Amino acid sequence: MSVDIETQASTDPAAEDSSARRAPAVLARFAAPIGLQVLAFVVAIAVSLLLVAALGYDVGAVLAAVVDGAFGSAHAVSSSLTQAAPLVLTATAVWLAYQVGLFNVGGDGQLQVGGLAALVVALALGDLPGVLTIAVAVVAAVLGGAAWAAVAGLLRAYRGANEVISTIMLNFVAATAISLLIAGPLRSPSAKYTPRTDRVAADAQLGDAVPGIPLTFLVALALGVVTVVAVRRTSIGLRLRTIGLNREAATHAGLRVQAMQWQAFAVSGGLAGLAGGLVILGYRYYIAPGWVPAWGLLGIVIAFLALESPGLIPLWAVVLGIIGAAGPAIKGAASVPDAITTVMQGLPVVVVFLVGALARSGPGRRLHAALSRKPE
């Protein structure tokens, strides 16, 4: 949280005048956390590869599959970024809710409801021009996710119901409801054995903006940046952070704490819902069992990797997206179980917290100081 104080300190006149002196400070501010994150990434990959080697697999083949899957072709880059897009949004959603002191564990449910809303709208508006369908479907996805999160947000703000529990339960309600819907009313007549819905019309599908860069990733990135800037640089954002840092002080300062908490939580859900909408319009095009991996869960991991420096959210989203997208290549070309990608995705956050714990415990204090020194 110390970064928050730094941004406020820039109103200090002494700091204003020396823009020349600020440049290295800005650099250091971004370089310092990155040192720790690079360490986390390297250790996570190293441990995973050791595991791969210990199980008697070909480490080189796994590495080749990841590198090839990530940079091998425009299509490979595109599929990695396609996986990164929802991660940017679910991670930003968790980060945003955390700013008002709430924990949004419901990313998975909100994403699924958003996807469902986008799909239903896109199917209903099939006759309209594609652009219009996309616009309405995206709005529906945001509203769906926001409404789903608002249930937990309202109950938390006005009834004190633990949002961790309620969002976990809402995840199950969403998943169960969707599986019943695709087996029943939304089931496509052409689905033979496995139930699935109809496809979104071709002109309402989102493709690549330029070869290798999917539109969905650009949209997600833009919204992630807008959210973080709004929280960090606007007066509403300052109010939100005040609530998160000290709820009591915020109440005494006259902020409408309860209203702002649930509204921020709804916006958080809207971001996750948008992730679902983009997945439908730009990646899956229909809903079938297992249509989304646990992107909400990974969003939580990313948000906690980037808690102090939200600029890292897109970086980690791309890294975990690359690993996730390499799954088929790891399984196919390298003949290694793709579950290794899950291990790779889960380890970095452990390393970051481990370094933090070592720093507190003494022996590793110097290492941590070197890796995450803050500018004066």
Partner 1 sequence: MFDLLGTAAFWSSAITGATPIAFAALGALFASRSGSLFVGVEATLLGSAFVALVVAVQSGSTWLGVLAGLLSGLVLGLVNGLLSMQLAMGDVVAGLVLQILVTGATGLLVARWYPNGLAAGALQLGPSWPSTGDGALDVVVRQPVLVYAAVVVAVAMVAFFRTAPGLVVRASGDSLRVAYALRVPVARVRYAALSVAGAITGVGGAFLALGVVGVFTTGVTSGRGFVALACVILAAWRPVLAVVAALLFSAAYTYGFQTDDASLAALQVLPYVLTIVVIAFSKAGRGPADEGKGLVVVGR
Q: Residues interacting with partner 1, by CB under 8 A?
A: 51, 55-57, 103, 105, 151, 155, 159, 161-162, 164-166, 168-170, 172-173, 176-177, 180, 184, 294, 297-298, 300-301, 304, 337, 339-347, 349-350, 353-354, 356-357, 360
Comparing CB distances to partner 1, the nearer of 22 and 368 is 368
Q: How far is the CB of 3 from partner 1 (least distance, A)?
A: 18
Query: β-pairing, 213-214 with 208-210?
Result: antiparallel
Q: How far is the CB of 353 from partner 1 (least distance, A)?
A: 4
- Listed residue (358, 89, 70) closest to 217, CA to CA: 89
CB 220, CB 275: distance < 8 Å: yes
* Other beta carbons within 10 Å of 350: 14
Q: How far is the CB of 242 from partner 1 (least distance, A)?
A: 17
Comparing CB distances to partner 1, the nearer of 78 and 372 is 372
Comparing CB distances to partner 1, the nearer of 165 and 369 is 165
Ranges assigned E (strand) in the chain: 208-210, 213-214
Q: How far is the CB of 194 from partner 1 (least distance, A)?
A: 15
Q: How far is the CB of 330 from partner 1 (least distance, A)?
A: 11
CB 273, CB 117: distance < 8 Å: yes
Q: How far is the CB of 331 from partner 1 (least distance, A)?
A: 9
- Listed residue (130, 117, 131, 92) closest to 272, CA to CA: 92
User: What is the DSSP code string of 238-260?
Assistant: HHHHHHHH-HHHHHHTT--HHHH
Comparing CB distances to partner 1, the nearer of 34 and 169 is 169
Dist CA 196 CA 179 (whole Å): 9
- Listed residue (277, 291, 294) closest to 115, CA to CA: 277
Q: How far is the CB of 372 from partner 1 (least distance, A)?
A: 15
Q: How far is the CB of 74 from partner 1 (least distance, A)?
A: 29
Comparing CB distances to partner 1, the nearer of 7 and 176 is 176
Q: Which residues contact 373 (CB under 8 A, 6 or more apart)?
A: 28, 32
Comparing CB distances to partner 1, the nearer of 26 and 253 is 253
- Listed residue (223, 220, 269) closest to 112, CA to CA: 269
Where residue 121 falls (left for φ over 0; alpha for ψ -120 to 50; beta otherwise) is alpha
Dist CA 247 CA 7 (whole Å): 20
Comparing CB distances to partner 1, the nearer of 130 and 324 is 324
Comparing CB distances to partner 1, the nearer of 175 and 238 is 175
- Listed residue (197, 214, 220, 207) closest to 276, CA to CA: 220
Comparing CB distances to partner 1, the nearer of 131 and 369 is 369
Q: How far is the CB of 176 from partner 1 (least distance, A)?
A: 5
Which helix (H) or strand (E) element contains residue 163? helix 163-183
Length of the chain as a residue count: 376
